[in-house]
Structure 1
Amino acid sequence: MDLTNSPYIATDTVYVANGVILTIEPGVTIRFATETALICYGTLNTVGNPTRTKLHSHQIK
């Protein structure tokens, strides 16, 4: 997931399948609707840096 297409809106649960790598680049925002989740059976890489930290949130506002 890249900053160019951010923010991403998850209106349903997102699954990362076994063997799949999901990389979330610095500064990317993902907003999840109520009662949704990110379920990862594969690999989740979240990348941060000093000017673009990581923030994990659970609800669309």
Structure 2
Amino acid sequence: MTSEEFPAPQCPEALYNRDTGDLLRCVQQGRHDWHRTPGGTEWRVPVDVDQETECPF
């Protein structure tokens, strides 16, 4: 895959994979309220939950 096909991530959010310990970075660019990994996994960041305990990223 070239950088033109998959631009560098601009969103700081990531989804924590507890099985591998990896942070799966959001690859969407610009303003958005939901996130997507390179593999197509989508998620939203809860705004009213303590992110340190519920969303470790």
TM-score normalized with structure 2 length = 0.25
Structure with greater strand share of residues: 1
Q: Which has the higher contact order (CA 8 A, sep 6+)?
A: 1
